[in-house]
Structure 1
Amino acid sequence: MIIVSACLCGINTKYNGDNNLDERILKLLKEGKAIPVCPEQLGGLTTPRAAHEISNGTGADVLDGKCKVKGIDGQDSTEEFIKGAYETLNIVKKCNVTTAILKAKSPSCGYGKIYDGTFTGNKIDGNGITAELLKRNGIKVYTEEDEFRNLYMTY
Protein backbone atom coordinates (compact mmCIF):
# COMPACT_ATOMS: atom_id res chain seq x y z
CA MET A 1 0.00 0.00 0.00
CA ILE A 2 1.15 3.52 -0.82
CA ILE A 3 0.21 6.70 1.00
CA VAL A 4 -0.33 9.70 -1.28
CA SER A 5 -1.06 13.40 -0.94
CA ALA A 6 -4.83 13.76 -1.31
CA CYS A 7 -4.46 16.82 -3.54
CA LEU A 8 -2.64 14.64 -6.10
CA CYS A 9 -5.78 12.47 -6.33
CA GLY A 10 -7.87 15.48 -7.31
CA ILE A 11 -9.27 15.99 -3.80
CA ASN A 12 -9.63 19.70 -3.02
CA THR A 13 -7.25 19.88 -0.06
CA LYS A 14 -4.77 22.42 -1.47
CA TYR A 15 -4.35 25.61 0.58
CA ASN A 16 -6.44 27.61 -1.92
CA GLY A 17 -9.27 25.05 -2.00
CA ASP A 18 -8.13 23.50 -5.29
CA ASN A 19 -6.13 20.33 -6.02
CA ASN A 20 -3.03 19.17 -7.88
CA LEU A 21 -4.55 16.26 -9.82
CA ASP A 22 -1.99 13.82 -11.20
CA GLU A 23 -3.69 11.10 -13.25
CA ARG A 24 -0.99 8.55 -12.31
CA ILE A 25 -1.74 9.04 -8.62
CA LEU A 26 -5.50 8.97 -9.17
CA LYS A 27 -5.04 5.65 -10.99
CA LEU A 28 -3.34 4.20 -7.91
CA LEU A 29 -6.28 5.33 -5.77
CA LYS A 30 -8.86 3.88 -8.16
CA GLU A 31 -6.98 0.56 -8.21
CA GLY A 32 -7.07 0.40 -4.40
CA LYS A 33 -3.30 0.72 -4.11
CA ALA A 34 -3.17 4.12 -2.38
CA ILE A 35 -4.46 5.85 0.72
CA PRO A 36 -4.98 9.62 0.29
CA VAL A 37 -4.03 11.92 3.17
CA CYS A 38 -3.70 15.65 3.73
CA PRO A 39 -1.41 16.23 6.70
CA GLU A 40 -2.48 19.86 6.95
CA GLN A 41 -6.15 18.91 7.30
CA LEU A 42 -5.23 16.06 9.66
CA GLY A 43 -3.47 18.65 11.79
CA GLY A 44 -6.63 20.76 12.04
CA LEU A 45 -6.10 23.41 9.36
CA THR A 46 -9.06 24.38 7.21
CA THR A 47 -9.36 24.36 3.45
CA PRO A 48 -8.98 26.92 2.09
CA ARG A 49 -6.23 28.34 4.30
CA ALA A 50 -3.40 30.84 3.93
CA ALA A 51 -0.35 29.61 2.06
CA HIS A 52 2.32 28.43 4.51
CA GLU A 53 6.08 27.99 4.33
CA ILE A 54 8.75 26.91 6.78
CA SER A 55 10.50 30.00 8.11
CA ASN A 56 14.31 29.84 8.34
CA GLY A 57 14.70 26.08 7.97
CA THR A 58 13.32 22.75 6.82
CA GLY A 59 10.98 20.08 8.10
CA ALA A 60 13.89 18.54 10.02
CA ASP A 61 14.42 21.86 11.80
CA VAL A 62 10.71 22.14 12.66
CA LEU A 63 10.65 18.62 14.10
CA ASP A 64 13.78 19.44 16.10
CA GLY A 65 12.16 22.63 17.48
CA LYS A 66 14.52 25.00 15.66
CA CYS A 67 12.05 26.92 13.48
CA LYS A 68 8.36 27.52 12.73
CA VAL A 69 5.79 27.15 9.98
CA LYS A 70 4.11 30.44 9.19
CA GLY A 71 1.32 31.53 6.91
CA ILE A 72 1.70 34.35 4.44
CA ASP A 73 -0.59 36.19 6.90
CA GLY A 74 2.00 35.69 9.68
CA GLN A 75 0.00 33.02 11.55
CA ASP A 76 2.18 30.42 13.31
CA SER A 77 0.77 27.00 12.40
CA THR A 78 3.72 24.91 13.54
CA GLU A 79 1.64 22.89 16.00
CA GLU A 80 -0.93 21.94 13.35
CA PHE A 81 1.73 20.93 10.83
CA ILE A 82 3.49 18.73 13.39
CA LYS A 83 0.19 17.16 14.51
CA GLY A 84 -0.70 16.39 10.88
CA ALA A 85 2.68 14.78 10.28
CA TYR A 86 2.23 12.50 13.29
CA GLU A 87 -1.36 11.65 12.30
CA THR A 88 -0.07 10.70 8.85
CA LEU A 89 2.61 8.52 10.45
CA ASN A 90 -0.13 6.87 12.54
CA ILE A 91 -2.01 5.93 9.36
CA VAL A 92 1.21 4.67 7.78
CA LYS A 93 1.90 2.39 10.74
CA LYS A 94 -1.67 1.08 11.03
CA CYS A 95 -1.78 0.24 7.31
CA ASN A 96 1.77 -1.14 7.00
CA VAL A 97 2.66 1.46 4.38
CA THR A 98 6.26 1.42 3.16
CA THR A 99 6.10 4.07 0.42
CA ALA A 100 4.73 7.60 0.05
CA ILE A 101 4.16 9.80 -3.00
CA LEU A 102 3.75 13.36 -1.74
CA LYS A 103 3.25 16.84 -3.18
CA ALA A 104 6.53 18.42 -4.22
CA LYS A 105 7.80 21.59 -2.50
CA SER A 106 5.02 21.62 0.13
CA PRO A 107 5.90 22.58 3.72
CA SER A 108 4.28 19.29 4.75
CA CYS A 109 4.94 16.95 1.87
CA GLY A 110 7.88 18.35 -0.09
CA TYR A 111 10.84 16.01 -0.49
CA GLY A 112 14.28 17.15 -1.61
CA LYS A 113 13.24 20.76 -2.25
CA ILE A 114 10.83 23.06 -0.42
CA TYR A 115 9.95 26.74 -0.59
CA ASP A 116 12.35 28.89 1.45
CA GLY A 117 9.89 30.71 3.72
CA THR A 118 9.92 34.05 1.88
CA PHE A 119 6.79 33.41 -0.23
CA THR A 120 8.77 34.46 -3.32
CA GLY A 121 8.93 31.07 -5.06
CA ASN A 122 12.56 30.49 -4.08
CA LYS A 123 13.40 26.91 -3.15
CA ILE A 124 15.97 25.34 -0.83
CA ASP A 125 17.23 21.81 -0.28
CA GLY A 126 15.24 20.02 2.40
CA ASN A 127 12.03 18.17 3.19
CA GLY A 128 8.63 19.19 4.44
CA ILE A 129 7.62 18.14 7.94
CA THR A 130 5.58 15.05 7.05
CA ALA A 131 8.08 13.89 4.44
CA GLU A 132 10.89 14.24 6.98
CA LEU A 133 8.99 12.36 9.68
CA LEU A 134 8.13 9.53 7.30
CA LYS A 135 11.75 9.34 6.13
CA ARG A 136 12.94 9.17 9.75
CA ASN A 137 10.60 6.22 10.20
CA GLY A 138 11.91 4.23 7.25
CA ILE A 139 9.28 5.14 4.66
CA LYS A 140 10.52 5.57 1.07
CA VAL A 141 9.34 9.02 -0.05
CA TYR A 142 8.78 10.26 -3.61
CA THR A 143 7.06 13.30 -5.07
CA GLU A 144 4.93 13.45 -8.18
CA GLU A 145 7.95 14.99 -9.91
CA ASP A 146 10.06 11.85 -9.38
CA GLU A 147 10.26 8.93 -11.75
CA PHE A 148 8.29 6.25 -9.94
CA ARG A 149 6.68 4.44 -12.89
CA ASN A 150 8.27 1.12 -11.91
CA LEU A 151 7.16 1.64 -8.32
CA TYR A 152 3.48 2.13 -8.98
CA MET A 153 3.32 -0.67 -11.51
CA THR A 154 4.43 -3.16 -8.83
CA TYR A 155 1.67 -2.33 -6.35
Structure 2
Amino acid sequence: MSRGKVLVSACLLGSAVRYDGRDNLIAHPLLQQLQTQQRLVSFCPECAGGLSTPRAPAEQQGNRVVTVAGKDVTAKFELGADLAVQTAQRQQVVMAVLKAKSPSCGVGQIYDGSFSKTLVNGDGVMAARLQAAGISTFSELQLTEASAWLANYDAIDA
Protein backbone atom coordinates (compact mmCIF):
# COMPACT_ATOMS: atom_id res chain seq x y z
CA MET A 1 0.00 0.00 0.00
CA SER A 2 1.36 3.40 -0.94
CA ARG A 3 -0.24 6.03 1.23
CA GLY A 4 -0.90 9.35 -0.43
CA LYS A 5 1.03 12.35 0.75
CA VAL A 6 -0.26 15.70 1.98
CA LEU A 7 1.06 19.02 0.72
CA VAL A 8 1.12 21.62 3.51
CA SER A 9 1.76 25.35 3.31
CA ALA A 10 5.34 25.72 4.53
CA CYS A 11 4.41 28.56 6.89
CA LEU A 12 2.04 26.22 8.79
CA LEU A 13 4.99 23.90 9.43
CA GLY A 14 7.10 26.69 10.91
CA SER A 15 9.03 27.98 7.90
CA ALA A 16 9.48 31.76 8.06
CA VAL A 17 8.15 32.36 4.53
CA ARG A 18 5.18 34.67 5.12
CA TYR A 19 5.18 38.06 3.41
CA ASP A 20 6.33 39.61 6.72
CA GLY A 21 9.12 37.08 7.23
CA ARG A 22 7.28 35.18 9.96
CA ASP A 23 5.62 31.77 10.13
CA ASN A 24 2.13 30.48 10.97
CA LEU A 25 3.25 27.39 12.86
CA ILE A 26 0.41 25.23 14.10
CA ALA A 27 0.65 22.16 16.27
CA HIS A 28 -2.12 19.73 15.42
CA PRO A 29 -2.32 15.95 15.89
CA LEU A 30 -3.03 15.41 12.17
CA LEU A 31 0.14 17.22 11.11
CA GLN A 32 2.17 15.46 13.80
CA GLN A 33 0.84 12.08 12.64
CA LEU A 34 1.63 12.86 9.01
CA GLN A 35 5.12 13.98 9.98
CA THR A 36 5.71 10.70 11.84
CA GLN A 37 4.43 8.77 8.79
CA GLN A 38 6.71 10.81 6.49
CA ARG A 39 3.71 11.89 4.41
CA LEU A 40 4.20 15.67 4.54
CA VAL A 41 5.28 17.74 1.56
CA SER A 42 6.12 21.29 2.66
CA PHE A 43 5.63 23.96 -0.02
CA CYS A 44 5.48 27.75 -0.31
CA PRO A 45 4.22 28.76 -3.75
CA GLU A 46 5.23 32.39 -3.32
CA CYS A 47 8.86 31.52 -2.58
CA ALA A 48 8.84 28.84 -5.30
CA GLY A 49 7.55 31.45 -7.74
CA GLY A 50 10.52 33.70 -7.01
CA LEU A 51 9.15 36.18 -4.48
CA SER A 52 11.45 37.24 -1.67
CA THR A 53 10.88 36.99 2.06
CA PRO A 54 9.92 39.42 3.39
CA ARG A 55 7.84 40.90 0.56
CA ALA A 56 5.05 43.40 0.08
CA PRO A 57 1.59 42.13 1.02
CA ALA A 58 -0.41 41.02 -2.03
CA GLU A 59 -4.07 40.25 -2.71
CA GLN A 60 -6.10 39.03 -5.64
CA GLN A 61 -7.90 41.63 -7.72
CA GLY A 62 -9.95 39.70 -10.25
CA ASN A 63 -7.56 37.48 -12.22
CA ARG A 64 -4.50 39.44 -11.09
CA VAL A 65 -2.46 39.44 -7.90
CA VAL A 66 -1.13 42.84 -6.91
CA THR A 67 0.91 44.19 -4.02
CA VAL A 68 -0.34 46.90 -1.71
CA ALA A 69 1.73 49.34 -3.82
CA GLY A 70 -0.04 48.19 -7.00
CA LYS A 71 2.75 46.05 -8.50
CA ASP A 72 1.40 43.12 -10.54
CA VAL A 73 2.92 39.86 -9.21
CA THR A 74 0.47 37.53 -10.95
CA ALA A 75 3.16 35.73 -12.98
CA LYS A 76 5.13 34.78 -9.85
CA PHE A 77 1.98 33.51 -8.11
CA GLU A 78 1.04 31.48 -11.20
CA LEU A 79 4.55 30.04 -11.50
CA GLY A 80 4.48 29.00 -7.84
CA ALA A 81 1.06 27.41 -8.30
CA ASP A 82 2.24 25.48 -11.37
CA LEU A 83 5.32 24.26 -9.49
CA ALA A 84 3.06 23.18 -6.61
CA VAL A 85 0.96 21.05 -8.95
CA GLN A 86 4.09 19.52 -10.48
CA THR A 87 5.48 18.78 -7.00
CA ALA A 88 2.16 17.33 -5.87
CA GLN A 89 1.94 15.04 -8.87
CA ARG A 90 5.56 13.91 -8.50
CA GLN A 91 5.12 13.25 -4.76
CA GLN A 92 1.71 11.49 -5.14
CA VAL A 93 -0.11 14.13 -3.07
CA VAL A 94 -3.80 13.40 -2.50
CA MET A 95 -4.70 16.28 -0.18
CA ALA A 96 -3.44 19.73 0.78
CA VAL A 97 -3.64 21.73 4.00
CA LEU A 98 -3.20 25.37 3.10
CA LYS A 99 -3.01 28.79 4.80
CA ALA A 100 -6.45 30.34 5.09
CA LYS A 101 -7.21 33.65 3.35
CA SER A 102 -3.90 33.74 1.44
CA PRO A 103 -3.85 34.93 -2.18
CA SER A 104 -1.96 31.71 -2.97
CA CYS A 105 -3.32 29.21 -0.48
CA GLY A 106 -6.75 30.44 0.60
CA VAL A 107 -9.48 27.79 0.44
CA GLY A 108 -13.04 29.07 0.07
CA GLN A 109 -12.26 32.61 1.21
CA ILE A 110 -9.61 35.16 0.29
CA TYR A 111 -9.11 38.86 0.85
CA ASP A 112 -10.98 41.01 -1.67
CA GLY A 113 -8.03 42.97 -3.06
CA SER A 114 -8.76 46.22 -1.22
CA PHE A 115 -6.22 45.55 1.57
CA SER A 116 -8.98 46.25 4.10
CA LYS A 117 -9.09 42.70 5.54
CA THR A 118 -12.46 42.16 3.80
CA LEU A 119 -13.05 38.52 2.87
CA VAL A 120 -14.85 37.26 -0.23
CA ASN A 121 -15.63 33.78 -1.48
CA GLY A 122 -12.83 32.40 -3.61
CA ASP A 123 -9.66 30.37 -3.66
CA GLY A 124 -6.01 31.33 -3.81
CA VAL A 125 -4.07 30.79 -7.03
CA MET A 126 -2.35 27.59 -5.84
CA ALA A 127 -5.45 26.24 -4.10
CA ALA A 128 -7.46 26.59 -7.33
CA ARG A 129 -4.75 24.89 -9.42
CA LEU A 130 -4.46 22.00 -6.95
CA GLN A 131 -8.24 21.56 -7.00
CA ALA A 132 -8.24 21.58 -10.81
CA ALA A 133 -5.61 18.81 -10.66
CA GLY A 134 -7.94 16.69 -8.50
CA ILE A 135 -6.30 17.33 -5.14
CA SER A 136 -8.62 17.96 -2.19
CA THR A 137 -7.81 21.19 -0.36
CA PHE A 138 -8.48 22.31 3.19
CA SER A 139 -7.33 25.31 5.22
CA GLU A 140 -5.80 25.04 8.67
CA LEU A 141 -9.25 26.11 9.93
CA GLN A 142 -10.67 22.85 8.52
CA LEU A 143 -8.32 20.30 10.07
CA THR A 144 -11.16 18.22 11.53
CA GLU A 145 -12.65 17.85 8.04
CA ALA A 146 -9.20 17.22 6.55
CA SER A 147 -8.50 14.49 9.09
CA ALA A 148 -11.83 12.79 8.34
CA TRP A 149 -11.23 13.04 4.57
CA LEU A 150 -7.78 11.49 4.89
CA ALA A 151 -8.98 8.70 7.18
CA ASN A 152 -11.63 7.83 4.58
CA TYR A 153 -9.06 7.97 1.78
CA ASP A 154 -6.67 5.72 3.71
CA ALA A 155 -9.47 3.22 4.45
CA ILE A 156 -10.38 3.02 0.75
CA ASP A 157 -6.73 2.86 -0.32
CA ALA A 158 -5.90 0.08 2.17
Q: Same fold per TM (> 0.5)? A: yes
For residues 39 and 55 of structure 2, the distance between their equivalents in structure 1, rounded to whole angstroms, comes to: 29
Pairwise mapping of residues 5-154 of structure 1 onto structure 2 (< 5 A)?
A: 5-24=9-28, 26-27=31-32, 28-55=34-61, 57=62, 67-146=63-142, 147=144, 148-151=146-149
Deviations 1:27-69 (A, max 9, x none): 23354121100000000000000110001x2xxxxxxxxx210
Aligned position for 1:60: none
TM-score (norm 2): 0.86
TM-score (norm 1): 0.88
Which residues of structure 1 form unaligned runs of 5+? 58-66
For residues 30 and 114 of structure 1, the distance between their equivalents in structure 2, rounded to whole angstroms, comes to: 31
Q: Which amino acid aligns with 1:8?
A: L
Higher mean alpha-carbon deviation, 141-150 vs 13-22, is at 141-150
Shift of 1:74: 1.4
Root mean square deviation, CA, Å: 1.6
Moved >2 Å (runs of 4+): 28-31, 147-155
Larger Rg: 2
User: 1:54 aligns to what SS in structure 2?
Assistant: strand
Deviations 1:102-153 (A, max 9, x none): 0001000001000000000000001000000010110000010012233466
> Contact between 1:86 and 1:130, CA under 8 Å: does it hold in 2?
yes
> Contact between 1:10 and 1:26, CA under 8 Å: does it hold in 2?
no
Which residues of structure 2 form unaligned runs of 5+? none
Aligned position for 1:61: none
For residues 30 and 48 of structure 1, the distance between their equivalents in structure 2, rounded to whole angstroms, comes to: 30
Aligned position for 2:7: 3
Shift of 1:89: 0.4
Q: Count the aligned residue pairs.
A: 145
